[in-house]
Amino acid sequence: MRNPLGLILGCVVAALMIAGGWLFATSLRADQAAPQAMAAKPASPQPSSSTKLASADSNLTKDDLDITGSLSGKSTAQLAPLPLPVPQKSACANPDALGVARVVEIDTSGGPGFGFEHFKQLDFLTDKEVVLTFDDGPWPGNTPAVLKALDDECTKALFFPIGKHATYHPEILRQVLAQGHTIGAHTWSHANLNSKKMTEQQAKDEVEKGFSAVKMALGTAPSPFFRFPELQHNPSTMAYLGTRNIAVFSCDLDSFDFKRDSSADKIVNTVMTKVDKLGKGIILMHDFQKHTAEALPTLLRRLKAGGYKVVQMKAKTTMQTLPQYDEALLKDQKVPVASTRPVSSVVQTVSQ
């Protein structure tokens, strides 16, 4: 009995020793495996934040990339946000539109003159190039119709509004600006500045008050572009405009759309006959005239068919109106301070 009992006890002890050794070995392997997993080679590296920025916006400078790359552990977007996207010009819906061939920027220093009717020094148009200009607006019905015709052909023009008309219909003039056209001024009341009854101070007042009225209507400064009413250039006013760095516009050809016997067909034929003879030019029209608005769609198509291209003129700087005229105009017009609020914030339909 003793020998079998001792044999059994020996087996038990041996089993316990084997189990203990196995548990110890397992624990040791687990302890060694943990740091090996942490030190394992990472997966293939992803592009850094600075690399992503460089590929997303090629306008970022080297300094931008160096700064974002050196500050690890922080969000690159917070440190160097991408610049706001530049608004893209909307595509023209008309594939056969007249369009705009080129845009020229005018340095108005010293008051340069344009239009061969009176100024022959600055001949910047090439063959088959025209500049579309409109006087005497803004006016209900007619100006919006002119704007639609221009928009349908995806082209641009230069407008010379009368100051009084701008105060009557500022919402129309703001639409002219919103559609990307250039806006100058055409005096306050369309007075003949070359009249013998017109004093130098009165002529100056007509010019300055006209610009201030356009600025008030637009809510922003217009271009320093000016056209004399009836193209009656006054020498002293010309000299004054030069001191104010305002460019003066005559024309190369007049549509005579203001005449009483004018009609849409006559306007088209007059303009095309003259422009075909000259080969190019600054065209004088009036968005104040109903027949002009009626003629414009056909005229623009005729210009396109004739191979003519439109040039848009823009000023290098905006017009710097004189504070005394701005203030006097506001006082004369009795414009309330609260007028800056939009109608929708004052009046709302609650039941209909």
| Residues 139-161: tens digit of each pLDDT | 999 999 999 999 999 999 999 99
Is the backbone of residue 22 left (phi > 0), alpha (psi -120 to 50) or beta? alpha
pLDDT at 90: 64
Give me the percent of the chain exceeding a pLDDT of 90.
67
Paired tokens of 222: 């217009």
Report, as an integer, the average pLDDT of 293-313: 98
User: Which residues sit opposite 103 in a β-bridge?
Assistant: 312
pLDDT at 27: 47
pLDDT at 99: 97
Q: Which residues contact 175 (CB under 8 A, 6 or more apart)?
A: 143, 144, 147
- pLDDT confidence tier of residue 164, bands split at 50, 70 and 90: very high
pLDDT one-digit tens code per residue, 4-16: 555 555 555 555 5
CB-CB contact of 112 with 263 (8 Å): no
pLDDT at 349: 77
The CA-to-CA distance between both ends of the chain, in Å, stands at: 112
Residue with tokens 């219909």: 169
pLDDT at 344: 74
CB-CB contact of 305 with 128 (8 Å): no
User: Does position 277 have pLDDT exceeding 60, yes or no?
Assistant: yes
Residue 104 to residue 313: CA distance in whole angstroms: 5
Residue 292 to residue 262: CA distance in whole angstroms: 9
DSSP 231-256: G---HHHHHHHHHTT-EEE--SEE--
Give the mean pLDDT of the chain.
81
DSSP 81: P
pLDDT at 282: 98
User: Does position 78 have pLDDT exceeding 70, yes or no?
Assistant: no
pLDDT one-digit tens code per residue, 262-276: 999 999 999 999 999
User: Which residues sit opposite 22 in a β-bridge?
Assistant: none
pLDDT at 60: 30
Q: Among 258, 246, 255, which residue's Cα sits nearest to residue 221?
A: 246
Q: Which residues contact 217 (CB under 8 A, 6 or more apart)?
A: 161, 166, 167, 169, 170, 173, 174
Residue 245 to residue 242: CA distance in whole angstroms: 5
pLDDT at 98: 98
Answer positive or negative: Cα dihedral of 335, 219, 288, 95: negative
Report, as an integer, the average pLDDT of 236-248: 98
Give me the percent of the chain exceeding a pLDDT of 70.
72
pLDDT one-digit tens code per residue, 181-202: 999 999 999 999 999 999 999 9
Higher pLDDT, 75 or 127: 127
Residues in the chain: 352
pLDDT one-digit tens code per residue, 79-113: 333 343 333 456 899 999 999 999 999 999 999 99
Query: Amino acid identity of 195?
Result: S
